[in-house]
Homo-oligomer: A and B are copies of this chain.
């Protein structure tokens, strides 16, 4: 079976409820899946996070098991009908997936066709590495290598430079330029409100905002909602 992923920039839009901005499309993406495996490890309070997700998906008619309260995590992954990795801190999330030895089991299932939903840190997790996360490195994972479900990087919560800012820290674009001083792989900047639908061999930009694609040695390019980005699934030069 071909891979299916829905990769959201963010789970909540300013002034709206959790996942509200993408609820219709999530329902479409999950289709007749009635039970979802949730991965809460990006946040500290896993139980509170699981309850929030459970309540939200109940509205969509979908039950939720949370990976923090199953007896056997690997077995839960093996038996899942679909998986949702929630946002929070990318380093904490990846570190926990390594601790629980879940990288390969999740990868195998998604490669085999299990639908994968990610938001923010959960979207970083689908990339080859976490080298384009915005998060603070609060814990040290054994490696930056992530699930490698797509052959390019995503930068979630992408923000344009604020011309009125007097802050001298790097802009997001500066940071991605620095990434390309050290790496060759494309980076898609997903602004808040945008998501990427991967239905192999197709990739389509969803949501209400443009996305900005960075490739080494090229000027950045903008893509509109609905744009086909199939070319991103062709293997890039080695990073």
Stretch of A10-18, A66-74, A107-115 lying at the B interface: A10-18
Q: Known: A44-B178, A157-B169, A178-B92. Contact between A140 and B143, CB under 8 A?
A: yes
Instruction: Tell me the count of chain A residues lying within 8 A, CB to CB, of chain B.
Output: 38
A129-145: which residues lie under 8 A (CB-CB) from chain B? Answer: 129-140, 143-144
Interface residues of A, Cβ cutoff 8 Å to B = 10, 12-15, 44, 88-89, 92, 129-140, 143-144, 157, 159, 166-170, 175-176, 178-179, 181-183, 192
User: Could you tell me the dominant secondary structure of chain A's interface residues?
Assistant: loop
In the bound complex, do residue A133 and residue B131 qualify as a contact, i.e. CB atoms below 8 Å apart?
A: no
Copies of this chain held together in the complex:
2
Determine the chain B residues whose CB is within 8 A of the CB of A130 once the complex forms: 137
Taken together as a complex, chains A and B put the C-alpha atoms of A136 and B156 apart, in Å, by 12
Determine the chain B residues whose CB is within 8 A of the CB of A14 once the complex forms: 166-168
In the complex, the chain B residue whose C-beta lies closest to that of A9 is: B168
Q: How far is the CB of A169 from chain B (nearest CB, A)?
A: 4
Q: How far is the CB of A140 from chain B (nearest CB, A)?
A: 4
In the complex, the chain B residue whose C-beta lies closest to that of A139 is: B182
* Contact residue among B10, B137, B168, B183 (Cβ-Cβ distance under 8 Å from A133): B137
Q: How far is the CB of A141 from chain B (nearest CB, A)?
A: 10
A sample of 6 more A-B contacts (CB under 8 A), given A138-B182, A138-B183, A157-B169, is A10-B168, A44-B178, A131-B139, A136-B175, A137-B137, A169-B192
